[in-house]
Structure 1
Amino acid sequence: MDAEHMGADLENVLFTEEQIQQRLGELAQQVWADYDGKHDDLLLVGVLKGAVMVMADFMRALPGSAAMDWMAVSSYGSGTKSSGVVRILKDLDTDITDKHVLIVEDIIDSGLTLNWIRTNLESRGARSVEICTLLRKPEAAKVEVDTRYVGFDIPPAFVVGYGLDYDEKYRNLRVIGTLAPHVYS
């Protein structure tokens, strides 16, 4: 879906499709270099559903092959605020013992969910657990999450597109933009 199809629901575009692709390409090159000699033990873990677009394009930008798996967790009771209570909806299919795990995320907001995921994966015997996120909202952080790879820092606005949704809508928007307040208020 293109931005012009959203009408008044989209307040403004923060990042174009081209900017997103360029930044993911840069991150992929950096990750590949940082894991040199460890590619066979590298496992990319995407967090469903939001990270689907990020994971797909990030993996395509890697200069070599890497294994992937998926987790789905829930921490949003309703609306736009995290409840802080995390529940695993879909666990990994892969044993991560002695693997270098790179969590691939769409956005870090409060950091509560991602902090829980990282701690959970570290407890499973991974050799290392790092984080790669396309977006981070530093002003919204409730806990500090050590994030090795960050695409863009953004203000604490409600954003949609490129996998990010509001009420399961707007994920297929090709850009990332701020959602107009009339949609969610």
Structure 2
Amino acid sequence: MTPQIMINILDKKFVPLISREVIENRIAAIASEIEKDYQNRCPLFIVVLNGAFLFASELVKRIPLSCEITFIKLASYNKTQSTGSVREIIGLNDDIAGRDIIIIEDIVDTGLTMAQLLSQINDLEPASVAIASLLHKPDALQTEVDIRYTGFNIENKFVVGYGLDYDGIGRNLDAIYVLA
């Protein structure tokens, strides 16, 4: 039996949950789905910073469609807990009326951040809106969110790596780790 690798980030210990290879394979599958669904269209990818940057980078480079990419920055976490409120730090500056939008998110847990973002985006009258999220915590949902492209459903536990952080640390890990 292989010993469990444990990493330390600040005052917390984490163990592996999803390997880099498994993540990359799933991202390739999502990219194929998006390519098929958006054939002959030019979607606008809206990447939610900071957490989704690695997922977005790996995803869009595998999609051979004409597309545009823009970024927004929202904040809803303090340490390991969702605060229940969403702060917009960098807003959307693009005209999205009549556009096909794909929101790229690192994780949907309570759904509150995504519900607020969807409300704001839908007010701008896009042609369509879809969500691609690397991770989803179904047991943490407080409001329903339709995620068209889900990487992995995970338990309601705190995770880091592959763009996700604990107090700003751990985003650069090439796998997903769960709080031990």
Which TM-score applies when normalising by structure 1? 0.88
Contact 1:10 1:177 in 2 (8 A): no
Alignment of 1:6-85 (within 5 A): 6-7=7-8, 9-38=12-41, 40=42, 42-76=43-77, 78-85=78-85
Alignment of 1:17-166 (within 5 A): 17-38=20-41, 40=42, 42-76=43-77, 78-166=78-166
Deviation at 1:11, TM superposition (A): 3.3
SS where residue 14 of structure 1 aligns? strand
Cα deviation digits, residues 54-111 of structure 1 (max 9, x gap): 00000111123321001111223x3322222222110123111111100001111111
Matched residues in 2 for 1:166 and 1:26: separation? 28
SS where residue 85 of structure 1 aligns? strand
**Structure number having the greater strand percentage:** 2
Gaps of 5+ in 1: 181-185
Contact 1:162 1:173 in 2 (8 A): yes
Q: How many matched pairs?
A: 175
Matched residues in 1 for 2:13 and 2:46: separation? 30
Percent of pairs with identical residues: 37
Dislocated runs of 4+, deviation >6 Å = none
Contact 2:7 2:14 in 1 (8 A): no
Matched residues in 2 for 1:44 and 1:62: separation? 11
Matched residues in 2 for 1:160 and 1:87: separation? 21
Deviation at 1:129, TM superposition (A): 1.0
Matched residues in 2 for 1:6 and 1:154: separation? 20
**Structure number having the greater helix percentage:** 1
Deviation at 1:24, TM superposition (A): 0.5
Once the two structures are overlaid, the 10-residue window that deviates more, 46-55 or 85-94, is: 85-94
Gaps of 5+ in 2: none
Given residue 12 of structure 1, which amino acid in structure 2 is its aligned partner? V
Structural RMSD (CA)? 1.8
Deviation at 1:10, TM superposition (A): 4.4
Deviation at 1:4, TM superposition (A): 6.0
